[in-house]
Amino acid sequence: MSRTMTLSLARAATRTGAQAGADGARGTTGRRRLRRGAGAAAAALLLTGGGLLAAGGPADAAVTTCVGMTAAQALAAGYSTVVGNPAVLNGTGGKNWIVGGAAAQTINASGGDDLVCGGGGADTINLGDGADWARGDAGNDIVKGGTGNDALWGDDGADRLQGEAGNDLLFGVAGNDATMSGGSGVDAGDGGAGADTCTATVELQISC
């Protein structure tokens, strides 16, 4: 007789000078949408951090460092939502380009393939379905993946990165991070500088 048994083993490890933490990313309540219009002006302005952001300007360069895309590039690629300073930011079901402000925020990205930058403050970022990219940026952040294959980045501060379902990539960057947890799926991560705690779930299939 042949039987197959699946065991889940949770393992936590603390490493000094290695892996780092997690920040959180979700969408926006009180969001404003900018759809790409026919004119250049419509494609050149995005709302972020309480003001209008001109594509190619100094603030745009700072955002590019976090999300890897300029304002104009985001609009051209079909990202329909950009958010600023509300305490809670909620994304839509489509592709969201979300940039938080300087204060602590909760960002809920919802469905779609999203790009999220938490900004300053201790942020919580919640990702939904889709292949998402999120960075907590400055502050002690919590970044939670969704059901898709996500890339989660911490930054300065004691962060918590939680991959959840999907095949995720977790990068703690600097700081002594509280937790880097891959969740289910085939995950990979790098804590970066600082004393970090990493938790992994290992599944074994045994035939007997």
Please state the domain extents for the chain: 11-207
φ, ψ for residue 115, nearest 5 deg: -115, 125
Please answer whether residues 191 and 208 qualify as being in contact, where contact means their C-beta atoms are separated by less than 8 angstroms. no
pLDDT at 126: 92
**Each residue's pLDDT tens digit in the chain (208 positions)?**
434 333 333 333 333 333 333 322 222 333 333 333 333 333 333 444 333 444 555 555 555 667 667 767 777 778 766 666 778 888 877 788 888 878 888 988 877 888 888 878 889 999 888 888 888 877 788 888 888 888 888 777 788 888 777 777 787 766 665 566 666 655 566 655 555 556 655 444 454 4
pLDDT value, residue 124: 92
User: Of 143, 147, 91, which is closest to residue 118 (Cα–Cα)?
Assistant: 143
Whether the CB-CB separation of 198 and 20 falls below 8 Å is answered with no
Helices (H), 125-200: none
Would the CA dihedral through 97, 68, 187, 105 be positive or negative? negative
- Helical segments of the chain, H only: 40-44, 58-67, 71-76
Give the number of other CB atoms < 10 A from CB of residue 75: 23
Summarize pLDDT for 88-140 with one digit per residue, the tens: 888 877 788 888 878 888 988 877 888 888 878 889 999 888 888 888 877 78
One-letter amino acid of 155 = D
- Please name which of 164, 128, 136 lies closest in space to residue 20, comparing C-alpha atoms: 136
> Residue 176: its pLDDT value, please?
61
